[in-house]
Structure 1
Amino acid sequence: MQSAGAIWRSPNPTFSQTASRQELLGWPQETSQEDDELLKPLRLLFDRVQLSDRDREEKHHYWPAIAIADEEPEIPYPQSERSKPEKLEELKASVKSALESLNAEDWQNLSLLGLILEKFGSYLSWGESDVALADMARSIGAVAAALAHNPNAKELSLIAGDLSGIQKFIYTISSDGALKSLRARSFYLELVVEELVQQLLEALELPRTNVIYAGGGNLYLLAPAREETKTAVNQVRQQFNQWLREEFQGKIFLALDCLEFESKDVSGTKFADRWSEATKNLAGQKSRKFADRLEDFLKPRQAHEPCRVCHRDDVENLKPLKQDEADSALACGTCRRMFELGGQLLKVKAIVRSHQKPTERDNTPYLKIELPAVGERGAKTTYYFFFDTDKPIVPESDTVLLVNNWNLETYRLPSFHNPVPLLLGQYGKGSEVEQGFMSGGEMAEKAEGIARLGYLRMDVDRLGLIFARGLGESQTLPRLAGLSRQMSYFFKVYLNSLAEKRNCNMPKNLKRLTASDRRNLLFIYAGGDDLFVTGAWNEVVEFAFDIYQCFRAYAGGNPDITISGGIEIVGPKYPLYQAADESGDAEHSAKDNGRDSLGLFGEAFKWAEWLGQANKKLIKSRYY
């Protein structure tokens, strides 16, 4: 029968060019086996991660053989046994059905084919037992596309990018609308990274498969090793930094560079070294932020009344943040747009990228990014329109970003141009008194006992080290892509499910502090490996323990893959930026406690100690 492997033997020329790159990454070559016989249960890649030299009993976990649900997928947890043959056959039948439904036009739809690979191939192996079909296929496609203009090239280029100053941009705001503004600001930066990806792909004429990772202010992209790549990277970096300097007074800076390396390194341990080298090269740029435009910061300028939200003082004509309240805080245009957008993000299902300027009668909410001309690259203005339906219609649309959507039929719509899945941690309880999500005051009133809010910050411990050397001799491009994808899925997708439907997404053997649904929460940010969440104080505390236990189970209980967090409990009118700082301090105290800890009530203890389990082996035994 046909399987997902058939995509790479399809009539689409983009895919047929990959044959010569399959051997480089270990893709199974032509055999007497049928495609479906090569599909196997996927071993847990997290089992390979080891950061210490101590001997450790080797564990074998396997992902259940499942397809990703069309929407709100439940968290899959690894198991000690392979999926039963009948489960694997059910998944193969779903793959067959999806492929047999494709017509000639569908086989030319790269977005649809990519989604099929992701939907059905994220929890199946094809060749290497711990490399997902989706990751292997995308990696081969990325190498093939990067070498398309010169198949005999001996080198490739790894583009690395990092937006610095995110904390300063997001958290240092104050006003009565800070919660909405904060959520919108974190989302805005996701769109900035998305636009950066789009500009690079367009300049280098590369498909989406060449994006290894993009999120949390970072990106990694595989590209051809040629002068055109260096030129495009330099000009795109200059364009974005000019716009960032003018839009945000230099609070945010883009470090963007490319590193050339031998193409054979993608299949060996040297790729992790190249990854680390590309990342380290960005440090030089970040230490000289806007060095080429220092005169812009030093020349005298007229100061005006500062915005009461972001405190910038270089704009005139401030207006009320809430137009229907005369005594509302005066804010700049950017902060007013952030506030308006923050209330609309609760139900956003699709985001349309377009170069078409909205008309005066168009009430669709949008954001725009105006890049200036640099060198041969002309000025470009891009608009992002937000819809609460997954079937938006925008004339002359460029790309449709579908939020947490894996429904194949949506990607087939003839009115869509280049539909792309956008993973977004966006959970928020709807307000009972106004449009949008609950306010801080509403959530505090839902708390048990005293009316207080909780602010939770968490991130994975030593993630940079995990990517740099956690996989040892197995640190290849497909595996690093797999690690990135699995981390992103947990924080951007599965946390939504855990917040929305607690009982469906927690293994029954995990400890619950209460039987509450604990849904009075708001995700301010949930990204590649970290999060910032607020809500009723007792529910935030409970959610923190749920996240810890579910993440440990998701990672197979690996003792080298841990997470730390910090919680601050305050009144609903407490300045949000201070709550963000203080929850960050609590998180740092947890890191200083040897990691794998929670900072709460001014104390930092291991999660196992907070859960009342003095013997850490007991909690480990639940996952092993």
Structure 2
Amino acid sequence: LYLEGFLYSIERILDIKFEDEFDRKRYEEIYNYLDLKPNFQSPFSSEYTYKLIELKNYENLKPIRGQFQIDKNYIQEYKNQINIYLKENNLNKKLKRIYYFTYYKFFSIFDYMKIFGAISNSFLSLNDKAILLEGDINGIQKFIYNITNVEGFVKRLRGRSFFLSILPEIISKSILNSINYPIFNTIYVGGGKFQLLFNIKFLDKVIAKLNEINKIILEDFSGLIGLTFAYVEIKLDDFKNYKQKSMELFQKLEREKYRKFYKILNNVSLKIKSNDICPSCRIETKYYDDEFCNWCKRFEELGEKLLKGSFLVFSNNRGIGLENVGYIDILENYPIDEDFYILNILSETLLDHGFKFINFVQEIKSFSELVEDEGYKKLAYLKIDVNKLGFKFSQVDSFFEVSRLSRFIDLFFSMYLKFIFEKYKDYIYVVYSGGDDLFLVGRWDKIIELAIEINKEFKQWTKNDLSISASINLFDYNYPFKFAAEITSKNLDIAKEEGKEVFILNKFISFEELENVYNDVKEKAEEYKNKISRSLIYRVYIMLKRKYLFFPMFYYQIHRNISDSSIREDFKSKIINKENMEIKKSSEIFLELLLMKTREVKQ
């Protein structure tokens, strides 16, 4: 039944009758069909579409508002492209922009073929049952942060974060291989999670494999990270009520997170190699003559390879990975007879292999080098996360939407932002960017500019239906990375819990306010030069703490110390709202950033 439906849909696509409405429609974004903000009318509520064009650069990734002008040449091009795409193997690249059925426009053919294959492979009859299983690797961020500023730690940090980002895929591949299932039975993978669909007869074997993997993870990483999983049984009729099954699975997984190792603790043996603690992670032990523990050495080697390699190889025994689970390696030359992804290249000559985008700046700089050309030598730590994404997923009605939405969000963070980061490559370090969040370190002023730009791009990417929160925290370049990362994460959690957009300088502010304030600072820093002393700016900043005495002290200071009346009035307008004569909420941030911006570089 499903196979017949699938073949029928392919016939429809290849036998296009351009007189009807089909030819006038384009791939419309899933967000146009999701009620993501109840009672909210988005200013971007009209149709957004994609032109049928290959993914050659980041501009092609953006949805465009409105319909395309249709003519006979474009219709013929559309038909020719479909026939070409179906002859090529890289379906992810070629078919994600062609939709399935006129009345379900948000399903690309790629998504439909992938999910249809998973469903067909999991149900052997109409009355059969399948298992929808979700795995979650807990503690990933804490594990990444658990590194000291020992020389060379930037390479180890890069390798550490990359390996953890790939680990869910290593595990999902291992599970599917254990039951001889193809990769398309992975509904989604990313953000530390994976979701698999398989026939119920393999359940016991999969659970045994998951417990084996969790035991290996516990023994290798001393409990810093762990694998939890939950599953629900699904019949074909359950696809009509996918939301209910999705919520049931979510609730089960949340309960499992509180007891991630309980099934395997009796069979674990933690081996102590020596009494020497690794100076890099301060968790694992190392041999006396070694500089670091085995894992830190592997992470540093991986971080070095990422600078030069073009191919991500999945292997059973080479590179870095977990024994009896899977390994990855980064190669410079074309791998022969191996499962691999092409990294950061949309290749036309390697169409039979997948592609994967990873975000990092090619040249490794030390944190001190990132701030050497700036007067105010502070690093900014930036964390950004999508708000209420779990709620968004709970609103979708099918596997198709889950696959599409998860991949589309990941595409923004893992691929699209790569081209944005390129403009800031001399000033930032990408700890990670993928799934639904990112973590950057860089020069304070460039990080602020980048955060503002990312918010604008994300709004356009999602038509304002999804939002992000950001945490920007300033530290000395030699401040312990672990503590800086933990503080930044904690402040992001607070911002998200309170429904705020940006945490910066111990205050909450909207992205719009931050952009306005920062633009004022950039404009006025040079204008105020030699006309307003930095000591006066600092005194005004201190006065803001003394609310009741502020106004008389403020007016006295600016009239005494600013001789140019136009400059004086302009400065006053940045601090006091002319309409109600109250202190502006953004005044403290303006003054702090102004002090930072006007500090000169010491030769």
TM-score (norm 2): 0.77
User: Are 1:590 and 1:599, in contact at CA under 8 Å, matched by a contact in 2?
Assistant: yes
User: Counterparts of 2:269 and 2:297 in 1: how far apart (Å)?
Assistant: 28
1:276 — aligned with what?
A: 247
Cα 1:550–1:125 shift into 2, 3 Å: farther
User: Counterparts of 1:143 and 1:589 in 2: how far apart (Å)?
Assistant: 40
Deviation, structure 1 residue 94: 5.8
The residue matched to 1:131 in structure 2 has which SS?
coil
| More displaced stretch, 568-577 vs 273-282 | 273-282
1:422 — aligned with what?
A: 356
User: Counterparts of 1:93 and 1:60 in 2: how far apart (Å)?
Assistant: 26
User: Counterparts of 1:137 and 1:608 in 2: how far apart (Å)?
Assistant: 41
2:366 — aligned with what?
A: 439
1:106 — aligned with what?
A: none
What is the 5 A alignment of 1:286-305? 286-295=257-266, 304-305=275-276
User: Are 1:456 and 1:568, in contact at CA under 8 Å, matched by a contact in 2?
Assistant: yes
Picking from 563, 568, 576, the partner of 2:481 is 576
Cα shift readout 1:553-593 (whole Å, capped 9, x = no counterpart): 111122xx110010112222111111111221332342244
Deviation, structure 1 residue 272: 2.5
2:346 — aligned with what?
A: 406
User: Are 2:274 and 2:288, in contact at CA under 8 Å, matched by a contact in 1?
Assistant: no
The residue matched to 2:217 in structure 1 has which SS?
helix
User: Are 1:586 and 1:600, in contact at CA under 8 Å, matched by a contact in 2?
Assistant: no
1:81 — aligned with what?
A: 66
Cα 1:309–1:232 shift into 2, 3 Å: same
User: Are 2:432 and 2:439, in contact at CA under 8 Å, matched by a contact in 1?
Assistant: yes
Picking from 299, 302, 321, the partner of 1:368 is 321
User: Are 2:281 and 2:296, in contact at CA under 8 Å, matched by a contact in 1?
Assistant: yes
Deviation, structure 1 residue 258: 2.6
The residue matched to 2:229 in structure 1 has which SS?
strand
Cα 1:294–1:479 shift into 2, 3 Å: closer
Structure 1 position 181 matched with structure 2 position 156: yes
Deviation, structure 1 residue 156: 2.6
Cα 1:50–1:579 shift into 2, 3 Å: same
Cα shift readout 1:188-224 (whole Å, capped 9, x = no counterpart): 1233212212112212322222222101210012222
Deviation, structure 1 residue 248: 0.5
2:111 — aligned with what?
A: 135
What is the 5 A alignment of 1:578-593? 578-593=483-498
Cα 1:85–1:141 shift into 2, 3 Å: farther
User: Are 2:317 and 2:323, in contact at CA under 8 Å, matched by a contact in 1?
Assistant: no
Picking from 512, 517, 536, the partner of 1:608 is 512
The residue matched to 2:132 in structure 1 has which SS?
strand
User: Counterparts of 2:100 and 2:48 in 1: how far apart (Å)?
Assistant: 10
Letter in 2 for 1:84: Q
Deviation, structure 1 residue 520: 2.4
What is the 5 A alignment of 1:236-247? 236-247=209-220
User: Are 1:163 and 1:217, in contact at CA under 8 Å, matched by a contact in 2?
Assistant: yes
Of all paired residues, the percent bearing the same amino acid is 24
What is the 5 A alignment of 1:474-493? 475-493=397-415
1:500 — aligned with what?
A: 422
Cα 1:63–1:93 shift into 2, 3 Å: same
User: Counterparts of 1:588 and 1:499 in 2: how far apart (Å)?
Assistant: 24
User: Are 2:9 and 2:100, in contact at CA under 8 Å, matched by a contact in 1?
Assistant: no
Deviation, structure 1 residue 370: 0.4
The residue matched to 1:95 in structure 2 has which SS?
helix
Deviation, structure 1 residue 301: 6.5
User: Counterparts of 2:85 and 2:503 in 1: how far apart (Å)?
Assistant: 49
User: Are 2:222 and 2:270, in contact at CA under 8 Å, matched by a contact in 1?
Assistant: no
Cα 1:124–1:500 shift into 2, 3 Å: farther
User: Counterparts of 1:144 and 1:577 in 2: how far apart (Å)?
Assistant: 46
What is the 5 A alignment of 1:33-52? 34-35=15-16, 37=18, 40-52=25-37
Question: How many residues matched?
Answer: 510
Picking from 151, 157, 173, the partner of 2:125 is 151
Deviation, structure 1 residue 143: 1.3
User: Are 1:351 and 1:400, in contact at CA under 8 Å, matched by a contact in 2?
Assistant: yes
Letter in 1 for 2:173: Q
Higher relative contact order (CA 8 A, sep 6+): 1
The residue matched to 2:58 in structure 1 has which SS?
coil
User: Counterparts of 2:477 and 2:98 in 1: how far apart (Å)?
Assistant: 42
1:548 — aligned with what?
A: 455
Q: CA RMSD for the aligned pairs?
A: 3.0
Letter in 1 for 2:321: K
User: Are 2:308 and 2:332, in contact at CA under 8 Å, matched by a contact in 1?
Assistant: yes
Letter in 2 for 1:466: K
Cα 1:33–1:342 shift into 2, 3 Å: closer
Cα shift readout 1:7-64 (whole Å, capped 9, x = no counterpart): xxxxxxxxxx9523549xxx74855982485564011211333345426369222222
Structure 1 position 387 matched with structure 2 position 331: yes
Deviation, structure 1 residue 279: 2.7
Letter in 2 for 1:548: N
User: Are 2:427 and 2:443, in contact at CA under 8 Å, matched by a contact in 1?
Assistant: yes
Letter in 2 for 1:216: G
Letter in 2 for 1:263: L
- State the structure with more CA Rg: 2
User: Counterparts of 2:272 and 2:313 in 1: how far apart (Å)?
Assistant: 37
User: Are 1:401 and 1:421, in contact at CA under 8 Å, matched by a contact in 2?
Assistant: yes
The residue matched to 2:59 in structure 1 has which SS?
coil
2:231 — aligned with what?
A: 258
User: Counterparts of 2:393 and 2:289 in 1: how far apart (Å)?
Assistant: 45
Picking from 177, 180, 184, the partner of 1:205 is 180
Letter in 2 for 1:496: K
User: Counterparts of 1:90 and 1:181 in 2: how far apart (Å)?
Assistant: 51
1:67 — aligned with what?
A: 53
User: Counterparts of 1:123 and 1:521 in 2: how far apart (Å)?
Assistant: 36
The residue matched to 1:409 in structure 2 has which SS?
coil
Bigger helix fraction? 2
Deviation, structure 1 residue 519: 4.7
The residue matched to 1:574 in structure 2 has which SS?
coil
Cα shift readout 1:90-143 (whole Å, capped 9, x = no counterpart): 76266246348x4xxxxxxxxx53x23542433645431222232222222221
2:94 — aligned with what?
A: 119
User: Counterparts of 1:130 and 1:293 in 2: how far apart (Å)?
Assistant: 43
2:573 — aligned with what?
A: none
Unaligned runs of 5+ in 1: 1-16, 103-111, 321-330, 358-365, 372-379, 413-418, 431-436, 502-516, 615-624
| More displaced stretch, 248-257 vs 80-89 | 80-89
Deviation, structure 1 residue 284: 3.2
Letter in 1 for 2:408: Q
User: Counterparts of 2:433 and 2:382 in 1: how far apart (Å)?
Assistant: 11
1:13 — aligned with what?
A: none
Cα 1:314–1:153 shift into 2, 3 Å: farther
2:306 — aligned with what?
A: 345
Picking from 120, 145, 151, the partner of 1:171 is 145
The residue matched to 2:276 in structure 1 has which SS?
coil
1:3 — aligned with what?
A: none
Letter in 1 for 2:4: S
Cα 1:284–1:586 shift into 2, 3 Å: closer
The residue matched to 1:206 in structure 2 has which SS?
coil
User: Are 1:18 and 1:144, in contact at CA under 8 Å, matched by a contact in 2?
Assistant: yes
The residue matched to 1:130 in structure 2 has which SS?
coil
User: Counterparts of 2:273 and 2:301 in 1: how far apart (Å)?
Assistant: 28
1:449 — aligned with what?
A: 375
Letter in 1 for 2:28: R
Letter in 1 for 2:156: S
